[in-house]
Amino acid sequence: MHRLLLLGCLWLLAAPPASSIFQRPTGSPAPPRLQYLLEPLHPTVHTQRGATATLPCVLRALPRNYRVKWSKVEPANYRESIIIITNGLYHKNYGPLSPRVRLRHSHRYDASLTITDVALEDEGRYRCQLINGLEDESVSLVLHLEGVVFPYQPSNGRYKFNYHEAKRACEQQDSRLATYQQLYKAWTEGLDWCNAGWILDGTVHYPIINSREPCGGRLLLPGVRTYGARDKQKDRFDAFCFTSALQGQVYFIRGHLNFKEAGQACRNHGAAIAKVGQLYSAWKFSQLDRCDGGWLADGSVRYPITTPRERCGGLPDPGVRSFGFPSKEMRTYGTYCFVG
């Protein structure tokens, strides 16, 4: 019985839906071609990780034999991945987004896409395409996550990652490789970093606010400097990672702990030692502000400052300060823990 129902639904996806609500009176001239899809009022939808977001796609009329296809443009390979196809009566989901997407369908002209529990990798460009024979049309929308970009390098120094290692390193720190748009926005907000790093599309850049000799020279204008596309296997740089809001809390445990003791102290509280992306997120979205250096999961020691002051590093701008990667046997620091 279940197989028959599934076959029936799939047949209906390919079959013509109900007739258009618009009918032309006999003998009247043909009306001009309709623009079936409404242009969205706001082509960019802003959201945060863990939230529910809806990308609008509304028809002004229902053509014969139509389908609506939602897809996402993947910046790493410039391909479109199908998410969902509907004929207004039935729909079919595709790909890794499948468990978290549905059609809003608040009325029969509504083909808007709702994404639940938004993840970092959901950011990007989406396309709602009306498929209607020769009259295909589409609208493009951008899902924008509010977040923070941070440069990242491993304990063994700068320029150690190929592209795939950089991608994996960001993911291990509760983040992902930043897009160019995210890096550019971070530069406009003050990110100034001399080391070049990979971003999601396989290109390499570094953002400069204050032109200086070690960073391309004083004569070059400020901006996001680029090395262009590089060999993803052979070339080695740092990484620019992006993270968004947390579904949890980062807090500090004071003490003189080595790295192993720091991890145990967090576990004793039912938490885990925080990752770098989690500390940046807590600094950005929860205004976490502490003068105390604390261990993180990658073996680095950092502390978040939202209100700069002389006794907390002396730097004039807010940020996450770093003591680098000290010996894991040192008993000098506390630890930052994360509980979800």
pLDDT digit of tens for each residue in the chain (340 aa)?
333 333 333 333 333 333 333 344 445 555 444 478 999 999 999 999 999 999 999 999 888 889 999 999 876 666 889 999 999 889 999 999 999 999 999 999 999 999 999 999 999 999 999 998 767 899 999 999 999 999 999 999 999 999 999 999 999 999 999 999 999 999 999 999 999 999 999 999 999 999 998 888 888 889 999 999 999 999 999 999 999 999 899 999 999 999 999 999 999 999 999 999 999 999 999 999 999 999 999 999 999 999 999 989 888 999 999 999 999 999 999 999 999 9
Instruction: Match domain 245-339 to its CATH number in 3.10.100.10, 3.40.1160.10, 1.10.1040.10, 3.20.20.60.
Output: 3.10.100.10
Residue ranges per structural domain of the chain? 37-145, 147-243, 245-339
Confidence (pLDDT) at 74:
79
Number of alpha carbons in the 13 Å side-chain half-sphere of residue 288: 26
* pLDDT of res. 284: 96
**Per-residue pLDDT at 9:** 37
Which of 73, 210, 65 lies closest to 140 in space, CA to CA?
73
Look at residue 170 in the predicted model and tell me its pLDDT: 98
Asked if 179 and 75 touch (Cβ cutoff 8 Å), the reply is yes
Q: Residue 217: what pLDDT?
A: 84
Q: Do the domains 147-243 and 245-339 sit in the same CATH topology, yes or no?
A: yes
pTM attached to this predicted model: 0.82
CATH says 37-145 is which class? mainly beta
Burial of 186 (0-12, 13-18, 19+ CB in 10 A): buried
Q: Which residues have C-beta within 8 Å of that of residue 253, sequence separation ≥ 6?
A: 262, 265, 266, 269, 294, 334, 335, 336, 337
**Which CATH architecture group holds 147-243?**
Roll (3.10)
Q: Given this model, what pLDDT does residue 29 score?
A: 56
d(CA 197, CA 225) in angstroms, rounded, equals 11
